């Protein structure tokens, strides 16, 4: 690889890498609010939140990599154009295809990484994220004894005092409503209030048990006190009916690409429809193939032979990529529903994009005319000028009518 290509590769790698990190951070911000809301009922919020964030990273990497590759390539080419380095290289006889090789190399590397991320890390991470979320919600009974907090679990409302050693908390206040469940209540309804000096939660099997020491309480049935009790040690069970999370493989998004490929005929698992299975597999493969095409679109979008900065390439690139992603998802949904073959819609779009990329790159590299988006930038500029002229003329008319 020549010095020019190494220079381009370095600039492109820095831009794309920075955009990947930035995009992941932005995408995670919205989900962090939901994660913090979930782990507030966890007994170990720091570890659970960290685990959920780590499991989300593959999902957001799958979104960030195509955007970063497209925008990073456009930005790098635009910088070379505005600094006249691109013009100098072309004048020295270096072809545009030769200068595109570093971006092709990066796209090959990212396509391989995307296949691994989309095919393995993302489904495993999705399952572990859901499993952690389910676990936090299932074990939320442990949050009932957090210091100075009212917590409702089923028909019981708990309040705990100061947290002590060995996971114990006290004093404890418990308010429980029930219909005809207390001894002697008959068909009446009422509530029970229980207090204790010390409370501690243990797990027996899959069900948490609240152990109370020096417990006192009374029953109220139909607004009348029905009985009182005082015991040294007691336990409350059935606080939560713990349920194990579903086994991985009941959702196609939680299956690796290897598992989807093995189930392409629908003879491995009956939980996933054959069309849904194959549509998901083709979508993952198409995302990796798309990365190989993007440099041939991004390079023409970034061309700018003048010194004036232009954001048309970035704007059009973002709109193009978002529209393409939505089109692929729509094609997947049609394939999953069995309305078209699972491969037809997805790979039809990829072939169409490949033809468009080949035409636009060929015109930019071998025709040496104006950059593809020059006319678009001129059209936007004309629209701005017409709008400003219209506003100025409208303002002048108002002034004239006011003077009259």
Give residue-wise pLDDT tens across range 347-367: 999 999 999 999 999 888 887
- pLDDT confidence of residue 121: 93
Residue 393 counted as domain residue: no
Q: Give the domain range for residue 312.
A: 3-137+247-385
Report the pLDDT averaged over residues 85-109.
89
Token pair for residue 304?
A: 């700018």
Phi and psi angles of residue 402, each rounded to the nearest 5 degrees, phi first: -70, -40
Residue 185 and residue 202 in one domain: yes
Q: Of 32-36, 207-211, 321-325, where does the model show the most confidence? A: 321-325
- pLDDT confidence of residue 37: 78
d(CA 354, CA 192): 71
Residue 307 counted as domain residue: yes
The rounded percent of the chain whose pLDDT value lies above 70 is: 71
Residue 360 counted as domain residue: yes
Residue 257 and residue 112 in one domain: yes
- Domain endpoint, select from 236, 261, 283: 236
Residue 39 and residue 148 in one domain: no
Residue 108 and residue 151 in one domain: no
- Domain endpoint, select from 187, 203, 236: 236
* Overall number of domains in the chain: 2
Residue 330 and residue 219 in one domain: no
267 versus 299: the higher-pLDDT residue is 299
Residue 133 and residue 149 in one domain: no
Among 78-87, 117-126, 376-385, whose mean pLDDT is lowest? Answer: 376-385
Token pair for residue 121?
A: 């890390």
- pLDDT confidence of residue 185: 47
- Domain endpoint, select from 186, 201, 236: 236
Residue 255 and residue 329 in one domain: yes
d(CA 384, CA 280): 43
Residue 117 and residue 218 in one domain: no
Give residue-wise pLDDT tens across range 136-176: 766 655 555 555 666 666 677 777 766 665 556 667 778 88
Residue 398 counted as domain residue: no
Q: Does 258 have pLDDT greater than 80?
A: yes
Residue 35 and residue 71 in one domain: yes
Count the alpha carbons within 13 Å of 306 in the hemisphere toward its beta carbon.
9
- pLDDT confidence of residue 363: 85
Residue 361's contacts (CB-CB under 8 Å, 6 or more residues apart) are 96, 97, 100, 296, 297, 299, 300
Residue 241 counted as domain residue: no
Residue 401 counted as domain residue: no
Residue 148 and residue 25 in one domain: no
- pLDDT confidence of residue 378: 55
Give residue-wise pLDDT tens across range 289-305: 999 999 999 998 888 76
- pLDDT confidence of residue 132: 86
Residue 394 counted as domain residue: no
- Would you say 218 and 225 are in contact if contact means Cβ atoms under 8 Å apart? yes
Residue 232 and residue 359 in one domain: no
Residue 24 counted as domain residue: yes
Residue 147 and residue 206 in one domain: yes
């Amino acid at each position: 690889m020549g010095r020019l290509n190494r220079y381009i590769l370095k600039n492109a790698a820095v831009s794309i890498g920075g955009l990947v990190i930035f995009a992941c951070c932005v995408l995670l911000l919205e989900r962090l609010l939901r994660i913090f809301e979930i782990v507030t009922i966890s007994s170990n919020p720091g570890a659970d939140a960290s685990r959920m964030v780590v499991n989300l990273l593959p999902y957001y990497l799958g979104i960030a990599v195509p955007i970063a590759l497209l925008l990073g390539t456009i930005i790098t080419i635009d910088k070379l154009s505005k600094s006249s380095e691109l013009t100098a290289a072309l004048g020295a006889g270096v072809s545009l295809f030769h200068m595109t090789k570093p971006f092709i190399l990066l796209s090959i590397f990212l396509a391989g990484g995307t296949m691994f991320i989309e095919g393995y890390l993302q489904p495993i991470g999705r399952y572990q994220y859901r499993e952690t979320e389910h676990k936090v919600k299932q074990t939320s009974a442990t949050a009932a004894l957090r210091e100075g907090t009212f917590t409702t679990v089923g028909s019981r409302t708990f309040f705990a005092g100061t947290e002590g050693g060995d996971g114990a908390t006290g004093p404890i206040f418990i308010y429980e409503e029930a219909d005809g469940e207390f001894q002697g209540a008959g068909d009446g309804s009422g509530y029970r209030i229980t207090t204790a000096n010390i409370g501690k939660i243990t797990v027996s099997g899959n069900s948490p048990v609240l152990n109370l020491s020096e417990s006192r309480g009374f029953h109220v049935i139909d607004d009348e006190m029905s009985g009182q009790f005082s015991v040294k040690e007691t336990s409350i069970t059935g606080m939560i009916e713990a349920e194990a999370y579903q086994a991985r493989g009941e959702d196609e998004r939680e299956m690796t690409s290897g598992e989807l490929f093995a189930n392409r005929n629908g003879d491995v698992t009956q939980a996933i429809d054959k069309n849904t299975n194959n549509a998901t597999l083709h979508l993952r493969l198409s995302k990796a193939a798309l990365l190989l095409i993007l440099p041939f679109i991004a390079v023409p979008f970034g061309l700018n032979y003048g010194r004036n900065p232009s954001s048309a390439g970035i704007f059009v690139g973002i709109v193009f990529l978002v529209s393409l992603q939505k089109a692929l998802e729509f094609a997947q949904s049609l394939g999953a529903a069995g309305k078209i073959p699972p491969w037809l819609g997805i790979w039809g779009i990829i072939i169409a994009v490949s033809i468009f990329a080949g035409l636009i790159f060929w015109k930019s590299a071998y025709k040496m005319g104006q950059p593809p988006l020059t006319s678009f930038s001129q059209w936007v500029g004309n629209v701005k000028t017409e709008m400003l002229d219209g506003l100025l003329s409208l303002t002048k008319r108002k002034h004239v009518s006011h003077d009259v």
